[in-house]
Structure 1
Amino acid sequence: MAIADVTSLKHLLSHSSTFTIPARAFTEDYNNWTNYALTTPKAVVKTTNESDIQTVVKFASEHNLRVSVRGGGHSVFNSCDGIILDLAGWDEVVYDDGDNTIRFRPGALNGKVMEVAGGRGRCVMSGTCNTVGMTSLYLGGGLGPLAPKLGMAIDSLLSARLITASGELLTVSPESNPEVFHILAGAGQTLGVVTEMQIKTYPLNETLNTTDETVFFASMTFPASRIAEVANFLSSAKWDENTAVYLLLVSPPEGGAPLFIFTVNYYGNDEDAKRVLKGLYDLKPIAETAKRVPYVRMNDHSEGSGERGEFKRMTGVGLKRVNVEGLKGMVEALENLLSAGGDLGKSCVLLEFLGMGVARKSSVGVYPHRDIDIWCIPVPWYSLPENHASAEKFCRDVRKAAKRGDVREDMVVYSGFRAGDEKPEELWGSKETADKIAEMKASQFDVSVITN
């Protein structure tokens, strides 16, 4: 379709929306988390108007154009060669004192929703990084530091407003359009455009087992040369629902051998936290910090990971366990990447240890991996396009290493960590579920919409 034809869309929109045909390097005005796989569209529509979104989606459907939705701007796959619906500016968050729920629009970020909830003495199931879009988090299932306490994000989802490919506006919930709600909760990126979500909130101090709205936070650093000790600890560690553990494999800012950095959130008092973390303290970290942080500042330690621009990816794989062989392979993959030189020094491997006991009790949505407590996520980070091949190899090598010694032969992939080449059953758990998702998309939402 010619660009001249796309311009006709401009005259169908209200004055509250802006229509732009990119006339320069698209990366310069997009301010996305990553420029990886960024595609220059035929047009960008910025809006906070549901009627205009309906117009855009219908126009795209009629003219066989792809639509990509930008909310938080963290997805690798949130651009296309058709029309980008840029909803990042539509970030309204409203707390309802009547039923203690929160409603947010598609541009609302994780940190803002936490701030609103915390200001009412409440908390929400949120992600790990403050700059992630909450809509995207909930559409994909939703992992985060409170998952051991509250389950998946979708377990807190009450309803959503959804615009289909035909332009129809639906309210979806367990009571209204329940079949659509079921697919939306966990595979929502495959459907239409979500313009609002309503979620549960929870009493803050009761959830965090505290009286002052704070969380115990600890960070402990070990040299990667102590792989065996770290692996042995991880193989025997048992975490309860009050503990969220993250392990970063990184290169020091000044260069040198890689490091393992544990960061832990504990929901309870300091004495109980130190008892639960005794195994880590007994390993004698080379650096450690421990402090209490306000709930609304709980994610501030990961602020750097939300930096915009450059090239980044997150291509994770779900695991049942981590062993010495697997960790050695991850260290080797990172060392090989760094040995290439250049600007790859901020690359890392993230392992998330989030107990899913509460999540396993729920059957909300189509999210299929509630039995997975460990996610291994390689994150290459660089600015020079010539490093694309090295970054791709790093992701493959880490995935391969992570699977060494695991108890399954199959690959398990969380949709937010997909590389783009996974089989449907690796994302959705079974061919049957994958077929149901594809059937709904084809029958009611037949437009290529990517939501993030």
Structure 2
Amino acid sequence: MEQTDHRERTRRTDQVGRTGKGTVLLRPGGAGYADECAGFQLGFAQGPAVVFAAASTQDVVTAVRYAAARNLPLGVQATGHGLPGDAEGGVLVTTRRMDRVSIDPEARTARVQAGVRWGQVVAAAAPYGLAPLNGSAPGVGAVSYTLGGGLGILAREFGYAADHVRWLEAVTPDGTLRRVTPASQPDLYWGLLGAGQNLAVVTEMEIGLVPVRRLYGGSLAFDGAAVDPAAVLRAYEAWTRTVPDGLTSSFAAVPYPDLPALPPRLRGRYVLSVRVAWTGADGDRLTAPLRGIAPVLSDSLRTMPYTDSHTIHSDPDFPHAYYGDSAVLEALDVDRAGKLLSLVGPGAAAPCVLQLNHLGGALSRPAPNAVPHREGRFLLRLLTGGGRDTARAVLDPAFALLADATLGRSLNFAFGAGDRSDGLYGRQTRERLAGLKRRYDPANLLCRNYGVSAC
């Protein structure tokens, strides 16, 4: 019965070419369909029965009403960095054309549409001496990243990006366009910020900006073959206990392939690095203990304009396949963390990138949103390539090693390695989100995402 219903849904959808108001629809086999479905994450295939290439809020309203009228699964894609897995059939709304940014320098706010990337917001705010609470990769979608919480470059100083949202414009699954504020619809505002694209399709939001023109930041890199990786990690963890609340940092362990395209200092090396972002004074003094850990392979710590802040992490800017997951840790047992490095190091079944973000500071402050696990001290993120089974063979033992210190997982850093929602929220948050799901999406149209169910 269910299979018959799916075939009938697909047959009805394939009859559509263009709506009466001119909204562009793309279908399998048609010109532009494959390019429209493609995202940054190449590990998963998107095969919707129909794609709405939205260029306006009204296009999104049309797409949502179309899906609701036919009871079709509905997905949303801006850049495709955080795909939860493969998807077949249903409706996909792409928002990449909705890319308008406007800055109000007096109010210190930015209005961003659903397809805007963080790099655009950084560039638009910079002439006014302002900065958004963006993540490390300028190509990531600002709206979707914020809906998942938004762990930014200056997170320990200013908190999550979600904590600075003034209002949202969203289309709920009944096709209603809503302006959502903490005063007008506090429950929906609370749920949208933390639940991702599970309760509505957000078309625009207004976010607060911070008065940051320059910062001290960069990375210190060490050769993982010349030093004990566990010793570097222990030294980093000890150092995080001494820094001011406003200093944001992370530790990374990356096995670089031996490719001519890479700089000679990275080619074929297992590189350990500590990345730092700080808007205060005495940056060199605060980071001096890090330079004493071991001989430095490279040192990019410096004062820079905020527009160069993406160079702190230098995330890959080209589409590729990856699987990954995360764990919010209440504490870091450095001895177990050393064993973790052994599990996911150069000898792992698939190349694995480890990143450990120092949490706390402003991230621990309560806010009127659903971003969970604010009591965490570190966020562990693991990314690997290969097939899904190979990824799980690497990731599962690694996360199991730290299970007793794990509070949960982070929605923004779950990349299809398991398609599971457990651990994304604590019990009270999960139950409250389930109530919102029953209210705003009882048919579960927005099911192409992690995290929220009605039960």
Q: Give the match for residue 436 of structure 2.
A: 440
Structure 1 residues 31, 422: CA separation in 2 closer, same or farther (over 3 Å shift)?
Answer: closer
Shift of 1:79: 6.3
Measure, in 2, the Cα distance between the counterparts of 1:13 and 1:367.
40
Give 1:401's aligned amino acid: L
Structure 1 residues 232, 98: CA separation in 2 closer, same or farther (over 3 Å shift)?
Answer: closer
Shift of 1:420: 4.7
Q: Give the match for residue 155 of structure 1.
A: 163
Which of 277, 301, 311 aligns to 1:265? It is: 277
Structure 1 residue 67 corresponds to structure 2 residue 69: no
Which of 52, 57, 63 aligns to 1:50? It is: 57
Q: Give the match for residue 25 of structure 2.
A: 19
Give 1:287's aligned amino acid: L
Measure, in 2, the Cα distance between the counterparts of 1:93 and 1:7.
34
* 2:325 match: secondary structure: coil
Q: Give the match for residue 335 of structure 1.
A: 346
Measure, in 1, the Cα distance between the counterparts of 2:154 and 2:368.
17
Aligned ranges 1:88-107 → 2 under 5 Å = 88-107=96-115
Which of 181, 185, 197 aligns to 1:173? It is: 181
Measure, in 2, the Cα distance between the counterparts of 1:241 and 1:9.
55
Structure 1 residue 33 corresponds to structure 2 residue 40: yes
Which of 289, 295, 299 aligns to 2:310? It is: 299
Task: Choose 410-419 or 361-370, whichever is displaced more.
Answer: 410-419
After superposition, what is the alpha-carbon deviation per residue over 1:110-144, rounded to whole angstroms, capped at 9, x for unaligned?
11111111121111211111111111111111111
* 1:352 match: secondary structure: strand
Q: Give the match for residue 377 of structure 2.
A: 373
* 1:448 match: secondary structure: coil
Measure, in 2, the Cα distance between the counterparts of 1:99 and 1:333.
46
Measure, in 2, the Cα distance between the counterparts of 1:252 and 1:113.
30
TM-score, normalising length from structure 1?
A: 0.86
Q: Give the match for residue 395 of structure 2.
A: 395
Shift of 1:257: 6.2
Count of aligned pairs: 424
After superposition, what is the alpha-carbon deviation per residue over 1:406-435, rounded to whole angstroms, capped at 9, x for unaligned?
6x3x551011123455454x11111x3212
Shift of 1:451: 6.6
Shift of 1:285: 2.9
Structure 1 residue 130 corresponds to structure 2 residue 130: no
* 1:428 match: secondary structure: coil
Structure 1 residues 127, 59: CA separation in 2 closer, same or farther (over 3 Å shift)?
Answer: same
Root-mean-square deviation over aligned CA pairs: 2.5
After superposition, what is the alpha-carbon deviation per residue over 1:160-180, rounded to whole angstroms, capped at 9, x for unaligned?
001011100111111111111
* 1:335 match: secondary structure: coil
Q: Give the match for residue 200 of structure 1.
A: 208
Measure, in 2, the Cα distance between the counterparts of 1:451 and 1:145.
25
Task: Choose 190-199 or 116-125, whichever is displaced more.
Answer: 116-125
Shift of 1:2: 4.5
Q: Tell me, yes or no, if the aligned pair for 2:276 and 2:312 is still in contact at 8 Å.
A: no
Structure 1 residues 367, 442: CA separation in 2 closer, same or farther (over 3 Å shift)?
Answer: same
Measure, in 2, the Cα distance between the counterparts of 1:104 and 1:78.
27
Measure, in 2, the Cα distance between the counterparts of 1:264 and 1:58.
46
Structure 1 residues 99, 266: CA separation in 2 closer, same or farther (over 3 Å shift)?
Answer: closer
Give 1:353's aligned amino acid: H
After superposition, what is the alpha-carbon deviation per residue over 1:20-51, rounded to whole angstroms, capped at 9, x for unaligned?
11218976553411122323110111012222
* 1:358 match: secondary structure: helix
Shift of 1:305: 2.4
Q: Tell me, yes or no, if the aligned pair for 1:215 and 1:292 is still in contact at 8 Å.
A: yes
* 1:69 match: secondary structure: strand
Give 2:253's aligned amino acid: L
Instruction: Name the one with the larger helix percent.
Output: 1
After superposition, what is the alpha-carbon deviation per residue over 1:65-106, rounded to whole angstroms, capped at 9, x for unaligned?
111111132112276321110111211111124522100001
Q: Tell me, yes or no, if the aligned pair for 1:48 and 1:89 is still in contact at 8 Å.
A: yes
Measure, in 2, the Cα distance between the counterparts of 1:391 and 1:215.
36
Give 1:379's aligned amino acid: L
Give 1:215's aligned amino acid: Y
Give 2:296's aligned amino acid: I
Task: Choose 250-259 or 413-422, whichever is displaced more.
Answer: 250-259
Structure 1 residues 451, 161: CA separation in 2 closer, same or farther (over 3 Å shift)?
Answer: farther
Measure, in 1, the Cα distance between the counterparts of 2:337 and 2:236.
12
Give 2:43's aligned amino acid: Y
Give 1:76's aligned amino acid: L
Structure 1 residue 244 corresponds to structure 2 residue 255: no
Structure 1 residues 14, 372: CA separation in 2 closer, same or farther (over 3 Å shift)?
Answer: same
Q: Tell me, yes or no, if the aligned pair for 1:149 and 1:241 is still in contact at 8 Å.
A: yes
Measure, in 1, the Cα distance between the counterparts of 2:58 and 2:256.
50
Report % sequence identity: 22
Measure, in 2, the Cα distance between the counterparts of 1:14 and 1:96.
32
Q: Tell me, yes or no, if the aligned pair for 2:52 and 2:59 is still in contact at 8 Å.
A: no
* 2:439 match: secondary structure: helix
Q: Tell me, yes or no, if the aligned pair for 2:218 and 2:313 is still in contact at 8 Å.
A: no
Which of 425, 428, 434 aligns to 2:425? It is: 428
Structure 1 residues 451, 300: CA separation in 2 closer, same or farther (over 3 Å shift)?
Answer: farther
Give 2:238's aligned amino acid: S
Q: Tell me, yes or no, if the aligned pair for 2:50 and 2:90 is still in contact at 8 Å.
A: yes
Give 1:440's aligned amino acid: L
Give 2:318's aligned amino acid: E
Shift of 1:315: 0.6
Question: Which structure 1 residue ranges, 5 or more long, are not aligned?
Answer: 206-212
Q: Tell me, yes or no, if the aligned pair for 2:218 and 2:312 is still in contact at 8 Å.
A: no
Give 2:325's aligned amino acid: T
Q: Give the match for residue 219 of structure 1.
A: 220
Measure, in 2, the Cα distance between the counterparts of 1:99 and 1:286.
43
